[in-house]
Structure 1
Amino acid sequence: MKFSIAFYVHHHGSGHFTRVAQILNKLKGFDITLLGSNLQPFAHLLPDDVHVIHLPMDTRSSEDLHFQNGNHVDVLHYAPLNIKGISDRVSIMTAFFQQKQPLLLIVDVSVEVTLLARLAGVPTIVMRQHGLREDLPHLMAYQSAELLLAPFSRSISPKSAQWIIDKTTYVGGFSRFSKENNHAEKHRHVAIMVGSGGTSIDAVFVEHLSNACPDFCFYVIGKINGECKELPNIEFCGHLDEPKTILDLCSVVIGNTGHNTVMEMASLQKRFIGIPESRPFEEQLDKANAISSVSGVQIVLPQSLYDTDWHFILNELETDAPNWDGIISEKALDNASAAIRAVGEKLFQ
């Protein structure tokens, strides 16, 4: 029996969208819908046959005159009261669930959406993430899901209860980049990747790096906060849809330890200085710990940015041969697609 597939994408940063877009490209022949908020900047990157439902934000607006945080609910992470955006998005999603039967929903990520789907009788697959995620809401979401899908290898999996491990399919790491490098790396050329989910890498820090390492050339990729001064060894590249050319040229990359950045560094076999930012459930710190033993990787905490001897650490890292073996799988996207198909075929045979 044919079934439809939907993906719910969390709106924090661009990482969830990037990950989902790569997976759905492997799911040919299905009626696929993407649901999420703030998808407008990315929708043009999707195949034309993917439907997009733009959900309202679930945060307080000026119209929400009776907003309250409400009493604490142990089983939910986020459940404020009297927010029109929340009631609207629930109405949109449940109407979609009713119209698209039979439907399989992949959630990346939200405890509340996972549980809403289960209450509406819609089976789910939940994406695993790093971090401390054995609190009651996560456990409830994991229990309600048909399958847990880990977009990373078992070798860097977070510590988990055995039943969570048993329920997880580890597809291996993947990213939008391949390790093919058409440009020779240049000694003392460093890329600085600035993400959109919040970072301590700002204009002040870039100036600090410039002064500490005058014999290095830095390329700043992404939108940076603060006043960007003209500096002799800094090139501000802004947002780049295709940053691989610059990354290929650089011998070291500095960036945060979000999932996609880490997987991209592994795909490109790059020397990497990871800065784990504050995130819910310590996600980036957990991922930083998981890769800290990788050859060619150094972790610098945000509170140590201005106490680190950057000239020393960059010189030392350039002498290391990066070795990300076992992190990336060439079959990861095929594995993810196969796992999704298998769940649907089991449910709707």
Structure 2
Amino acid sequence: MFPCCNIAFYVHHHGAGHMMRTLAIAKMLPGFGITLMGSNLKAYADRIPPEYNMVNLPMDTPEDDDLDFKPLDPQGLHYAPLNIRRQRERVNLMTDFFKSTFPLLLVVDVSVEVAMLATLCGVPFITVKQHGNRNDLPHLQAYHNAVGLLAPYPEKMKDNDAPWILAKTFFAGGISRYQPQPDEAKLTNKQIAIVIGRGGTSINIPFIQHLAKTCAEWHFNILGNLELTEHDYKNVSFLGNVTDPKAILARCAIVIGNAGHNTVMEVAALSKRFIVIPEERPFDEQVVKAEILRKLNLAAIVRTDELFSTCWHDLFVDTIGLKPDWSAIVGWDAASEAANYIKRTYYSTFKNSTLF
């Protein structure tokens, strides 16, 4: 016996943004049978509601016993190596779930390979759009085969996509766990928050030491998995992984961080002055997103190769003088808008399905 309405989310393991927006959207889908599928779900076990079904997937990377592993440059896919045991197990778990769960709408955030697998299994899916140069064949195939495209940001932040892609995209607005609010910081307190994301960053100890030495009048609050246990810097506080950094971010005059979805949308929701350091990511995702923010006068950009050549003192003074208007980026009801789009797509796909 199937629940009358099933929605599954494939959640990519890299970074925290995929999971955070998935949980925000799923919360707005009461009454639906919710399933999360991914390779890093256990890391968020304390945040995932117990009523959600979870399909824990192994990684699709080779292990020592994959003696016949062979890389492959596939056509129409990004990643499909040969002879990996965990990859076969991963696909088997997903196809078993697809076979046993109907009716089902899948939200793919994000994977061209999972989108292709859903296509082969006849499972309708929505693909979550991300920034970057994604006009390659695998992405175009995924967009074409999807029953819809969901952008977790406003149309104001759109890429230079082809007209047919834009016409197929629903722009939900920026999704953040925080509701939009005015900047609360006193600009005279010279407090700066430095956000260390989970997806890999060039913000490291040498860079923090450089800031501490060259900008001694500023105090740096380090949020994330970075620590220097013994140091003489009175203007640096290593705060570790803070579950809810809202109060810290709110009191700081400036935020420094990468261009990951979570960081950008939390900065936007709290109306912060932002210095963005775009990291190298597939398809130039962060570089493209950072440039969009710069063009909208929402952030200053410092490239990773400019970390030690930038005059940070002058940049901080210039940034304090700015007043970015984030009001059109994060929506009060963006998660609800995304959920409503998913529901509309579900009911247009399964016309004989009713929730109650």
TM-score of the pair, normalised by structure 1? 0.96
The 1-side partners of 2:45 and 2:35 are apart by 12
Note the residue ranges of structure 2 that are not aligned, 5 or more in a row: 352-356
Change (3 A) 1:269 1:228: farther
1:109 to 2:89 alignment: no
1:268 aligns with 2:270: yes
Partner residue, 2:221? 219
Equivalent position of 2:168 in the other structure? 167
The residue number in structure 1 matching 2:198 is 196
Contact 1:204 1:226 (C-alpha < 8 Å) held by counterparts: no
- 1:205 is matched by which residue type in structure 2? F
What are the residue-to-residue correspondences of 1:65-80 with 2, within 5 Å? 65-70=67-72, 72-80=73-81
Corresponding residue of 2:243: 241
Query: Aligned with 2:190: secondary structure?
Result: strand
Using the TM superposition, give the Cα deviation of residue 66 of structure 1 relative to its aligned residue in structure 2, in angstroms: 0.8
Give distance in 2, aligned partners of 1:342 and 1:128. Answer: 18
2:333 pairs with 1:331: yes
Q: Is the 8 A contact 1:294 1:324 kept in 2?
A: no
SS at match of 1:218: strand
- CA drift of 1:336 comes to 0.5
RMSD: 1.6
Partner of 1:132: 133
User: 1:47, CA displacement in angstroms?
Assistant: 1.5
Offset, 1:316? 1.4
Q: Residue type of the partner of 1:162?
A: P
Deviations 1:65-102 (A, max 9, x none): 110003x2220100000111110010000000010111
Per-residue CA distance 1:261-280 (angstroms, 9 max, x = gap): 11111111000000000000
Runs of at least 5 residues in structure 1 that lack an aligned partner in the other structure: none
| Deviation for aligned residue 1:31 | 0.6
Q: Distance in 2 between matches of 1:62 and 1:4?
A: 37
CA distance in 2, matches of 1:154, 1:221: 30
Question: Quick check: 1:202–1:225 contact (8 Å CA) kept in 2?
Answer: no
CA displacement, residues 28-81 of structure 1 (integer Å, 9 cap, x when unaligned): 0011100000211102201221111110011111121110003x2220100000
Aligned to 1:347: 349
Match of 2:308, SS state, is coil
Could you tell me whether the CA contact under 8 Å between 2:181 and 2:271 is conserved in 1? no
- Three-state SS of the structure 1 residue aligned to 2:216 is coil
Inter-CA distance 267–226: structure 2 relative to 1 (3 Å threshold): same
Contact 2:259–2:286 (8 Å) recurs in 1: yes
- CA–CA separation in structure 2 for the residues paired with 1:93 and 1:47: 21
2:39 pairs, out of 31, 37, 40, with: 37
The one-letter code sitting in structure 1 at the alignment partner of 2:125 is T
Which residue does 2:122 correspond to in 1?
121
Question: Within the alignment, does 1:177 sit opposite 2:178 as a pair?
Answer: yes
Q: For each residue in 1:112-135, what CA deviation from the matched residue of structure 2 results, as whole angstroms up to 9, or x when unmatched?
A: 000101100100000000000010
Cα deviation for residue 109 of structure 1 reads 0.1
Distance 1:182 1:302, change over 3 A: closer
**Does the 8 Å CA contact 2:180/2:330 hold for their aligned counterparts?**
no
Q: By how many angstroms is 1:180 displaced?
A: 4.1
TM-score w.r.t. the length of structure 2 is: 0.95
CA distance in 2, matches of 1:147, 1:30: 19
Q: How does 1:239-318 map to 2 (within 5 A)?
A: 239-295=241-297, 297-318=299-320
- The count of residues paired between Structure 1 and Structure 2 equals 348
